């Protein structure tokens, strides 16, 4: 019997969906006591899958925008809270949920969707590809000295972490203009505030720039504080760092390096090509401990997505795209420096929609996917043209967990 998928709206339904998701993820804590659950979900976007009348799975999303190469912000669905009860896995629940969700997102007119995958083998069959990654880095504060050439940055001041959420949202909204950044809707900020209020431990927020014209901030907290004053390895963790300018970035890093009593600074989420090590006289003061997939991207409207993205170079090519789940995307597209249009012509290259999603932001290379057999080449030199057209100055990075 196929799962019955429907939109959840009542508070008790949302609480049940949250409980299903946490049971599926195993290691997540419950919502803080007293949390207003209805304020954490966007109305009409939470789906529930029922099997024999029991809520067995859920999927959720938020309205957002994604910054694509060239600087455009395109309508985007931030997909999250996808989970199935351990008692109902491998029974078609995820398939029913994600098929329905893709149809709903397309009906809303959102061009792309992204998610963070707890399991990497699930989402490619629904058209998602790994479009961007993040690096986990740790910095030895005592070894880290900024080069004389690094900008000094502006004024940095501490603000009250409990009452500064509106200010942080404003700074992020104006400053998150890099490729791969997504809008953070009010629901996202409310969840951060709920987590902050539910954690009694110390946490700090510093902002960069003059009052009323702030252009960056950093949120951080110490760990293992029970023996803080006698420890030989006192650590702070950077929860969120946003800088709209190089000066703001340098000023915030300079501030972190100036925090006394700290031996090590952990940056759990940084861009793979983040310049932190280059700022230092000893780049070995920074250790990259891992690089992992961050943004899984699904192109919902291929013609619109290709048209909104910027391209480089003077070449052009015809790209064939196949999409099994959203067949309206299947077709051939002429792509050049002036943009992209649908066309009836023989293809120079051919990809499925998941591969195009992986390539869309410039987070991976056409030659890599061609070598893996994911790009069919029908004209000599077409891969090189695609490399130039889809090239970007920096690797895509979201920096937002949802």
Instruction: Tally the residues of the chain.
Output: 402
Same domain, 269 and 376: no
Same domain, 346 and 284: no
Same domain, 285 and 320: no
Contact present, 111 and 301 (Cβ < 8 Å): yes
Q: Look at the block and give the residue holding tokens 């949302």.
A: 14
Pairing of the two strands 156-159 and 129-140: unpaired
Q: What b/e readout covers 215-249, taking b as 16+ CB neighbours within 10 angstroms?
A: bbbbbbbbeeeeeeeeeeebbbbbbbbbbbbebbb
Mean pLDDT of 361-388: 98
Alpha carbon distance 128, 124 (integer Å): 5
Residue 380 has pLDDT above 80, yes or no: yes
Q: Look at the block and give the residue holding tokens 């997504």.
A: 182
Q: What residues does 137 pair with on adjacent strands?
A: 267, 288
Same domain, 147 and 229: yes
State which of 292, 313, 340 marks the end of a domain.
Answer: 292
Same domain, 178 and 119: no
Query: How do residues 159-186 score in pLDDT, each as one tens digit?
Result: 999 999 999 999 999 999 999 999 999 9
Same domain, 186 and 221: yes
Residue 35 has pLDDT above 80, yes or no: no
Same domain, 152 and 221: yes
What CATH number is given to the structural domain containing 35? Answer: 3.40.630.30
Q: How many Å separate Cα 194 from the centre of its chain?
A: 20
State which of 105, 127, 149 marks the end of a domain.
Answer: 127
Mean pLDDT of 125-147: 98
State which of 235, 258, 292 marks the end of a domain.
Answer: 292
Domain presence at residue 297 = no
- Say which residue, 200 or 252, is predicted with more confidence: 252
Closest CA to 395 of 356, 352, 351, 360: 360
Q: What residues does 65 pair with on adjacent strands?
A: 75
Alpha carbon distance 121, 48 (integer Å): 22
Catalytic positions, written as ranges = 123, 402
Same domain, 268 and 205: yes
Total domains present in the chain: 3
Residue 130 has pLDDT above 90, yes or no: yes
Q: Look at the block and give the residue holding tokens 């799975």.
A: 57
Residue 278 phi, psi (nearest 5): -70, -25
The region, left, alpha or beta by phi > 0 then psi within -120 to 50, assigned to residue 341 is: beta
Q: Over the chain, what is the mean pLDDT? A: 96
Task: State the residue range of the domain holding 320.
Answer: 302-389
Alpha carbon distance 187, 38 (integer Å): 10
Residue 32 has pLDDT above 70, yes or no: no
Q: Which two tokens stand for residue 101?
A: 């969700």
Same domain, 109 and 151: no
Judged on CB neighbours under 10 Å (0-12, 13-18, 19+), 389 is: buried
Query: How do residues 317-364 score in pLDDT, each as one tens digit?
Result: 999 999 999 999 999 999 999 999 999 999 999 999 999 999 999 999
Residue 33's pLDDT is: 67
**What confidence tier does 148 reach under pLDDT thresholds 50, 70, 90?**
very high
Same domain, 308 and 276: no
């Amino acid at each position: 019997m196929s799962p019955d998928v429907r939109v959840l709206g009542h508070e008790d339904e949302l609480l049940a969906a949250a409980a299903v998701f946490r049971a599926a993820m195993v290691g997540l804590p419950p919502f803080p006591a007293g949390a207003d659950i209805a304020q954490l979900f966007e109305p009409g976007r939470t789906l529930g899958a029922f099997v024999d009348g029991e809520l067995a799975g859920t999927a959720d999303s938020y309205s957002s925008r994604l910054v694509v190469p060239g600087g455009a912000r395109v309508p985007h669905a931030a997909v999250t809270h996808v989970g199935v009860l351990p008692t109902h896995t491998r029974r078609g629940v995820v398939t029913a949920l994600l098929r329905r969700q893709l149809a709903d997102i397309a009906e809303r007119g959102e061009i792309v969707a992204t998610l963070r995958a707890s399991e990497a083998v699930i989402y490619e069959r629904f058209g998602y590809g790994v479009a961007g990654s993040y690096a986990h880095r740790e910095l030895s504060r005592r070894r880290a000295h900024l080069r004389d050439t690094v900008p000094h940055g502006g004024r940095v001041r501490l603000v009250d972490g409990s009452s500064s959420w509106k200010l942080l949202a404003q700074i992020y909204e104006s400053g998150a203009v890099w490729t791969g950044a997504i809008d953070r809707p009010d629901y996202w900020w409310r969840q951060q505030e709920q987590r902050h209020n539910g954690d009694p431990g110390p946490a700090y927020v510093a902002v960069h720039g003059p009052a009323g014209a702030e252009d960056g901030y950093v949120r951080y907290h110490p760990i293992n504080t029970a023996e803080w004053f006698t420890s030989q390895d006192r650590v702070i963790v950077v929860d969120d760092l946003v800088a709209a300018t190089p000066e703001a970035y340098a000023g915030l890093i300079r501030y972190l390096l100036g925090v006394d009593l700290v031996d090590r600074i952990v940056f759990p989420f940084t861009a793979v090509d983040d310049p932190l090590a280059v700022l230092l006289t000893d780049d070995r003061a920074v250790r990259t401990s891992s690089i992992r997939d961050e943004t899984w991207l699904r192109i919902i409207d291929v013609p619109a997505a290709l048209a909104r993205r910027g391209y480089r170079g003077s070449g052009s090519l015809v790209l064939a795209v196949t999409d099994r789940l959203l067949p309206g995307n299947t077709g051939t597209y002429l792509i050049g420096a002036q943009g992209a249009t649908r066309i009836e012509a023989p293809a120079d290259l051919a990809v499925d929609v998941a591969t195009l999603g992986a390539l869309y932001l410039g987070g991976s290379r056409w030659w890599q996917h061609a070598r893996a057999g994911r790009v069919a080449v029908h004209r000599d030199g077409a891969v090189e043209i695609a490399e130039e057209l889809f090239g970007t100055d920096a690797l895509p990075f979201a920096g937002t967990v949802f």
